[in-house]
């Protein structure tokens, strides 16, 4: 997803939380900085591309088939097989990705659902669920050490806070930016090609780039950095504009979405891991594995004649990217609010 799409996802997630609860303290923290979401939500792609000396993105989880002979992992073959019903039970029926898998998952056939797939990790510890989990945990800690304004938004207190200078404490701007950065990882986990290890899903191979271009065109220039970061643009207008984008994706009924907590028993790591696995299933539904491996053109798999599939794919990626962002943000916020209350 490009800067514009990441920007819209983060902004739309704030609007979703606001629609659910106008008095939410999390919204009170994020809303004044809504314009900066356009910068923050794009930071991971900029940092990862420019620093750390690696051309391997370190927030990618590409899922591949586990072949016989892959030494240590073969012993865990069973662990890497996930039936359709198992996957659905891990991703929650309120997700549109679940709806698409329910409706179209059988097209993959029993062999596919019985195949072991594993997430290939280019560098130890550097993959999408790890990055999402790490940043989530860090945000919790940083919020506990928030400045006076943040402190006022979170119930309870922290005994040592007065011994920290105000510069050592987290400012609202910084906290908002960390939330926006987190939205990037969550959004990427909802992009089918991002989670697909087949050659056809590489960015330069066609489908990946073209699908992102398709979303970017629907979201439009209003969410480009240069158009949002103007002094004349007001937070309320940005949120209203984000809600209007729903109508571009036919049937994107985010207006009525509820924001639940994580699936029972999950932490952010598991939630993101299963999210990637579900997105991988959607990638295979788009480009069926027995027909496509190396290359799949957008026009062949999602073009004329495949309008209803494209609509489902748009829905799974866009709706879930916004909803999942709101889910994880709210989960962190509730956790921190509860933690301090108990002290």
**Comparison of 185 and 333: residue with beta carbon closer to Zn ion:** 185
- CB of residue 41 vs Zn ion: minimum separation in angstroms? 10
CA gap 245, 159 in Å, rounded: 44
CA gap 311, 112 in Å, rounded: 24
- CB of residue 238 vs Zn ion: minimum separation in angstroms? 22
DSSP state of 155: S
- CB of residue 42 vs Zn ion: minimum separation in angstroms? 9
**Comparison of 45 and 220: residue with beta carbon closer to Zn ion:** 45
**Comparison of 182 and 336: residue with beta carbon closer to Zn ion:** 182
Distance set, CA 118 to CA 65, 175, 192, 243 (Å)? 6, 34, 15, 36
**Comparison of 6 and 104: residue with beta carbon closer to Zn ion:** 6
- CB of residue 247 vs Zn ion: minimum separation in angstroms? 26
**Comparison of 12 and 59: residue with beta carbon closer to Zn ion:** 59
- CB of residue 123 vs Zn ion: minimum separation in angstroms? 15
Residues in a beta bridge with 297: none
Residues in a beta bridge with 62: 120
Query: What is residue 214's three-state secondary structure?
Result: helix
Helix/strand number for the chain, H first, E second: 18, 2
Residue numbers at the binding site for Zn ion (CB under 5 A)? 45, 188
CA gap 146, 318 in Å, rounded: 32
43 CB-near residues (< 8 Å, 6+ apart): 177, 180, 181, 184
What tokens appear for 7 in the block?
């920007």
**Comparison of 77 and 214: residue with beta carbon closer to Zn ion:** 214
Torsion on CA atoms 2, 302, 196, 184, rounded to nearest 10? 20
- CB of residue 59 vs Zn ion: minimum separation in angstroms? 6
CA gap 314, 311 in Å, rounded: 5
Distance set, CA 243 to CA 7, 182, 231 (Å)? 13, 21, 21
- CB of residue 201 vs Zn ion: minimum separation in angstroms? 14
**Comparison of 209 and 311: residue with beta carbon closer to Zn ion:** 209
- CB of residue 1 vs Zn ion: minimum separation in angstroms? 7
**Comparison of 188 and 196: residue with beta carbon closer to Zn ion:** 188
Q: What is the DSSP string of 70-85?
A: -HHHHTTGGGG---HH
- DSSP strand E in 50-167: where? 62-65, 117-120
């Amino acid at each position: 997803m490009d800067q514009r799409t990441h920007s819209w996802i983060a902004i739309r997630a704030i609007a979703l939380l606001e629609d659910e609860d106008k008095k939410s303290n999390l919204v009170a923290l994020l809303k004044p900085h809504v314009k900066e979401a356009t910068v923050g939500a794009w930071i991971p792609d900029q940092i990862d591309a420019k620093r750390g000396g690696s051309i391997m993105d370190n927030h990618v989880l590409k899922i591949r088939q586990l072949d016989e002979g892959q030494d240590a992992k073969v012993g865990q073959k069973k662990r890497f097989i996930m039936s359709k019903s198992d996957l659905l039970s891990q991703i929650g029926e309120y997700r549109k990705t679940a709806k698409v898998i329910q409706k179209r998952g059988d097209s993959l056939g029993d062999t596919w659902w019985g195949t072991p797939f594993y997430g290939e990790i280019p560098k130890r510890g550097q993959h999408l669920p790890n990055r999402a989990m790490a940043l989530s945990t860090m945000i919790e800690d940083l919020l506990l050490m928030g400045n006076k304004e943040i402190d006022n938004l979170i119930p309870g207190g922290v005994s040592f806070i007065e011994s920290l200078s105000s510069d050592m404490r987290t400012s609202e701007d910084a906290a908002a930016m960390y939330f926006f950065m987190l939205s990037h990882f969550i959004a990427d986990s909802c992009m089918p090609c991002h989670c697909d290890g087949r050659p056809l899903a590489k960015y330069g191979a066609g489908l990946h780039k073209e699908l992102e271009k398709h979303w970017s065109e629907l979201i439009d220039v209003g969410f480009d950095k240069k158009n949002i970061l103007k002094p004349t643009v007001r937070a309320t207008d940005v949120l209203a504009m984000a809600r209007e984008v729903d109508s571009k994706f036919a049937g994107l009924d985010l207006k009525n979405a509820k924001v639940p907590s994580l699936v029972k028993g999950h932490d952010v790591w598991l939630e993101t891991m299963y999210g990637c696995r579900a997105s991988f299933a959607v990638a295979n539904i788009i480009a069926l594995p027995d027909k496509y491996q190396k290359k799949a053109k957008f026009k062949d798999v999602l073009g004329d004649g495949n309008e209803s599939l494209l609509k489902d794919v748009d829905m799974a990626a866009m709706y879930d990217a916004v909803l999942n962002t709101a889910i994880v943000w709210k989960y962190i916020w509730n956790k921190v609010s509860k933690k301090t209350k108990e002290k």
